[in-house]
Structure 1
Amino acid sequence: METLIMVAQLLLGLSILVGVHEWGHMVAAKAFGMRVEKFSIGFPPKIWGKQIGETEYSIGAIPLGGFVKITGMIDESLDTKSMSAEPEPYEFRAKPAWQRLIVMMGGIIVNVVTGIIIFIGLALANGEAFLPKEELNKHGIVAYDLGEQLGFKTGDKVLSINGKEYSRFSDLLSPDLLLGSDNYYTVLRDGQEVKVEMPNDFIDKFADKKNRENVIIPRWPFYVESVMPGSNADKAGLKDGDRIVGINAEPIKYFDELSTSLEGLKGEVASFEILRSGEKIDLEIPVSEDGTIGFYQYRELNYVTRDFTFGEAINEGTYNAFAVVWLNIKGFQKMIAGDVDVRKSLSGPIRIATFFGGTWDWNNFWRIVGLLSMVLAFMNFLPIPALDGGHVMFLTWEIVTGRKPSDRFLENAQKVGMVILLSLMAFVIINDTISLF
């Protein structure tokens, strides 16, 4: 069922993104009097189609893209039969270069606008919740395996990043920081300031999904919010509101200390020291084979919540949308520099489906769609023939020099671009498949 939900979210998300992208091309073309022969979401074979006026609207069986067929344009269809004849006034090739440029930019522009609108809507609907630096440093951080490899230790209090102030816990592993170079943290450890340096290739390890929660988390004190009925804790007499302050004569203050202790006591009966209404009591509680006793915790961390006005949401959403583009640029720089393994950084449809998750969460769905809309705009702007950016490159050359590339050149460039794109698609699909095992 989870797989079906992931696939359904992927198909819906791609349909929305491809639909608005191709709609951007079509609207611009029609505005300049160009004939649009086909508008398709998905690639052939066609499973549904309807002719409205001069345009056939259709849905293809392969939902990994879409296209708009504009008369007189050399595109991925490589339909050049009519290119030898004199251009008709309604053809793409008959229009001024600036109009053709706007048509090719139409899809990119609409994807950018779509991404901005989505991020504005998310900011307005959800606001933000974050753990401020002051609250984080009351208790410090918990360092897991990858965090310890980085140089952190549990209990560290992070004072600064690259010698500068930061405001919230999420800043410690922000995408902008991970994609940067020569980064370091200053931490307070046992009363001494210590420098923790981040290797430039750390993003390569962090890109592995199973490592993302294996770095650092905030440390928190806790108490028993509710006991699971019928659990070992329930049978032993643990109550809602109790505070666990010791196990087998070892003091307990933070939840990570409890987790570590229980991990080493699987299948055993442990002596728990409990603080209840100011009174200390002792309970003998069996620890299950999975290292639990059966209660829900309350995390004693004070997160700051903030709602945005409409004006603030516009600023926040626009910033978040363009931050995606900036991070993509920095990611490409990392790949070119060799700091990032391309196999871990490029995602195809299989891995993208996992980003949506196996449960239908509309907030997460629109967040991923907004992100993908900005990524699609960025990728389409790359100067590769067969992408919009390739057409923009040739049209810009034509506008600047006054010379139009020959149809033969454009046709061959389109073929080269298609080979590049098909090779890239094959690579990411195979890479996604391998990553599942």
Structure 2
Amino acid sequence: MSLSLLIVLHELGHFIPARLFKIRVEKFYLFFDVKYSLFKKKIGDTVYGIGWLPLGGYVKISGMIDESMDKEQMAQEPKEWEFRSKPAWQRLIIMLGGVFVNVVVGFFIYIMLFYANGSNKATGTDYKYGFGMPPVLEEIGFEQGDQVLLVNGDTLNIAQNLVNRMVFRDIETVTVLRNGNPVEITIPEDIGSRVFQADIMGPLEPRFPFEVSEVTPGTLADSIGLQPGMTIVEMAGYPIAYNSDYTYAINHKVTDSLPFEIKYQDKNGVVESKTIDFKNNKERILGFRKKPTAEYLTTTEVDYSFAESVSVGISHGYWTMHDYVVQFKYVFTAKGAGQLGGFGTIAKLYPDTWDWTKFWERTAWISFVLAIMNILPIPALDGGHVTFLLYEMITGRKPGDKFLEKAQIIGIVILLGLMLYANGNDLFKALFG
């Protein structure tokens, strides 16, 4: 739904300036109508329709070399209502229109979300027991239970997002509260790559003491006798005091093929020990739920006036785009290429149950993604057309139609290849995990 909405808005970004410059638009389509349309209606000079192939959308502008590859039209003498007859600056505005609309839509959604919902803050000391730290952060000086106070001297409003900051932004120092004392940690320049390769891109795990609250029948937890109210005290020789200790042991102390010892304690203080393994349980799931035994997090709700929402929304949108652009340096690695996803990945961005806030948050993010992807200087994308137009405006020489046709074909092949690869990754993950 949101993708279709954004595609229509993107194409309107091309359609409106084209019409303002008195250029004829022959088609306005959601999805592609290869040989067939699900719906179409001609109004004036334009056929509006919905195609059957859900790979985007397009507007067919008269006198323009695009995905329609209309060579017959291009072989005729240029007409005054055609794209190619207009000055380069008008053609540039038309080609930038879709990206411009996607950027504006993204900013607008974020501004309205902050105005309607405000935001929540949870700084370092709001996490009473600090965070569980993965080994890659321990290696550079972090310790279990550190409370994140400052990043480059500034407060991090959501301290849990430290890892995200490390991957996408330049961080020199992080100040943590450790045993009541501030400690400054110097961050190495390559921390982003190290975190990415360690596959810990998500938020830090807040720590809290816990007990077993529910055991799923037929699971490992059930088979060894875990019951509600019990506490786990040790796994694979690693002491467990907090939920993050359990996560650490599961991820870094246990080997799938080797048996290990788990110790747990009942309400009377009696400790039992059992030996188990994950030979037939590659996801390393014991089968119980954790219940915090103490309050561990305090959040502060922040409301914004409309003027404040504009400032906060623009700032949030800017950094959203910044982080997405920065992630391209990780895409061109073996691990990054394996994480490229298609429509299946997009679908997973949305929660299973309907949530308007989540819907609009994801829609704003995808709008920025569409803008950035479309401005890439790849023939067949808006960015490819923009590149050729800038060349024309700088040199005064217009690329020949034959060159543009070949470039368009190459661009289409590249895009189809990327699309097949990304959706193939989704299919592979769905089949083999």
Pairwise TM-score range, normalised by the shorter structure: 0.7 to 0.9
**Match for residue 193 of structure 2?**
201
From 153, 156, 159, the equivalent of 2:143 is 153
Question: What are the Cα deviations for residues 92-119 of structure 1, in whole angstroms up to 9, with x where unaligned?
Answer: 1111111111111111111111111111
Q: Is the CA contact 2:121–2:299 (under 8 Å) kept in the aligned structure 1?
A: yes
CA deviation after TM superposition for structure 1 residue 245, in Å: 11
- TM-score between the two structures when normalised by the length of structure 2: 0.77
Shift of residue 203 of structure 1? 4.3
Per-residue CA deviation, residues 282-340 of structure 1 (Å, 9 max, x unaligned), is x99xxxx957589686634221110111111111111222222211222224456x5x8
Taking structure 1 as reference, are residues 412 and 188 closer, same or farther at Cα in structure 2, changes over 3 Å only?
same
Amino acid at match of 1:426: L
1:310 is aligned, of 286, 306, 309, to 306
Residue by residue over 1:52-101, the C-alpha shift from the partner in whole angstroms, topping out at 9 and shown as x without a partner, is: 11111111112220010011110011111021221111111111111111
- For residues 17-61 of structure 1, give each alpha carbon's deviation from its aligned partner in whole angstroms, at most 9, with x where no partner exists: 111001111111111111111111111242111111111111111
Alpha-carbon spacing, 1:258–1:74, altered in 2? closer, same or farther (3 Å): closer
Alignment partners' CA distance in 2, 1:196 and 1:83: 60
Tell whether the 8 Å contact from 1:266 to 1:291 is kept in structure 2 after alignment.
Answer: no
Q: Which of 70, 78, 90 is 1:99 aligned to?
A: 90
Instruction: Identify the match of residue 60 of structure 2 among 57, 69, 82.
Output: 69
Q: Could you tell me the TM-score, scaled by structure 1's length?
A: 0.76
Shift of 1:423: 1.5
Alpha-carbon distance between aligned partners in 1 of 2:289 and 2:96, rounded to the nearest angstrom: 59
Residue identity matched to 2:299: Y
Q: Residues of 2 paired with 1:160 and 1:397: CA distance?
A: 45
Other structure's SS at 2:48 match: strand
Partner of 1:416: 410
Change (3 A) 1:272 1:216: farther
Long gaps (5+) in structure 2: 218-226, 235-239, 250-259, 272-284
Conservation of the 8 A alpha-carbon contact between 1:179 and 1:334 = no
Pick closer, same or farther for the CA change 1:128–1:344 going to 2, 3 Å: farther
1:27 and 2:16 matched: yes
Say whether the 8 Å CA contact 1:386–1:418 is kept in structure 2.
Answer: yes
Q: Tell me the distance in 2 between the aligned counterparts of 1:430 and 1:87.
A: 42
Q: Residue 350 of structure 1 contacts residue 432 of structure 1 at CA under 8 Å; is this kept in 2?
A: yes
Residue matched to 2:156: 167
Query: Contact between 2:206 and 2:244, CA under 8 Å: does it hold in 1?
Result: no
Which residue among 424, 431, 434 is the counterpart of 2:428?
434
Superposed CA deviations along residues 362-415 of structure 1, whole A, max 9, x for unmatched, are 211111110110111111111111111111111122222222211111111111
Q: Aligned to 1:78, what secondary structure does the other structure show?
A: coil
Given candidates 319, 326, 335, the residue that maps to 1:323 is 319
Residue in 1 aligned with 2:106? 115
- Two-structure CA RMSD over aligned residues (Å): 4.0
Is residue 88 from structure 1 mapped to residue 107 from structure 2 by the alignment?
no
* Number of positions where the alignment pairs a residue of Structure 1 with one of Structure 2: 395
Shift of 1:432: 2.3
Code of the aligned partner of 1:420: I
Alignment of 1:44-59 (within 5 A): 44-45=33-34, 46-59=37-50
Using the alignment, how far apart are the partners of 2:135 and 2:342 within structure 1? Answer: 28
- Structure 1 residues 361 and 172: CA distance shift in structure 2, 3 A: closer
Distance in 2, Cα, partners of 1:344 & 1:427: 9
In structure 2, do the counterparts of structure 1 residues 139 and 321 end up closer, same or farther at CA, with 3 Å as the change threshold?
same
Alignment partner, residue 402 of structure 1: 396
Query: How far did 1:143 drift?
Result: 2.9
> CA 1:35/1:196 → structure 2, altered by over 3 Å: closer, same or farther?
same
* Residue type at the aligned position of 1:416: I
Contact 2:125 2:147 in 1 (8 A): no
Secondary structure in 1 matching 2:105: helix
Most deviating of 79-88 and 306-315: 79-88
For 2:207, the aligned partner's letter is: R
SS in 2 for 1:76: coil
Instruction: Assess, with a 3 A threshold, how the Cα gap between structure 1 residues 77 and 269 changes in structure 2: closer, same or farther.
Output: same
The answer (yes or no) to whether the contact 1:124–1:310 under 8 Å persists in 2 is yes
The match for 1:218 among 206, 225, 229 is 206
Q: Which whole-Å deviations, capped at 9, do the CAs of 1:253-286 have from their partners, x for residues lacking one?
A: 866679999xx9989771258xxxxxxxxx99xx
Q: Which residue of 1 is the match for residue 342 of structure 2?
A: 348
**Contact kept in structure 2, 1:351 and 1:432, CA below 8 Å:** yes
1:42 to 4, 12, 31: 31
Shift of 1:165: 3.6
- Write the distance in 1 (CA, Å) between the matches of 2:417 and 2:233: 58
Cα separation, 2, equivalents of 1:223 and 1:290? 14
Who is 2:386 aligned against? Answer: 392
The runs of 5 or more residues in structure 1 that have no matched partner are: 1-11, 239-243, 274-282
| CA displacement at 1:200 relative to structure 2 | 3.5
Task: State the partner residue of 2:254.
Answer: none
Residue identity in the other structure for 2:324: N
Q: Give the 3 Å change call, closer, same or farther, for CA 416–142 of structure 1 in structure 2.
A: same
Aligned-partner Cα distance in 1 for 2:232–2:18: 72
Letter of the 1:143 partner, please give it: M
Contact 1:127 1:307 in 2 (8 A): yes
What secondary structure is seen at the aligned counterpart in 2 of 1:299? coil
Contact 1:182-1:200 within 8 A present in 2 as well? no
Following superposition, the deviation at residue 120 of structure 1 comes to 1.0
Segment of structure 1 superposing worse, 295-304 or 65-74:
295-304
State the identity as a percent.
Answer: 37
